[in-house]
Structure 1
Amino acid sequence: MIDVENALWRKSTHSGSDGGNCVEVASDLPRVVAVRDGKCPSGPALVCAPAGWSAFLSGIKDGALDV
């Protein structure tokens, strides 16, 4: 199990400043990138390999994941 409790989380630049919908990312963990809901920092985090995270971000930017 990956310990994300002490990770350095950063808020998405696309999240609002009102404390509402907020995505946070921790990329300082060894060999993984973690993503969580900022409204629930003690809740679960999605953990993936850096290459998977990069592919996900590229898909979003390219519009490949638009519904």
Structure 2
Amino acid sequence: GAEDYSKALPIIKHSSVQRHSDQLKRMKREWDEIGATERFWKQVLAKEPSQRDELSRKKQLDSL
């Protein structure tokens, strides 16, 4: 009856809140991982041109 429902309601609410917070945690972790890879690639791309410059400088020196 109605009182069974009202007893069950907090449990249902709690479990859905719990599930929701688990989802949020998982999403946050995924975002953190994405952020980490983004930072990683930015570093790689930032290093990349200077390495290329060094290589081209060496090539120029070799060709002299």
Higher Rg: 2
Structure richer in strand, relative to its length: 1
Q: Which has the higher helix share?
A: 2
Q: With structure 1 as the length reference, what TM-score do the two structures score?
A: 0.25
Structure of greater relative contact order (alpha carbons < 8 Å, 6+ residues apart): 1
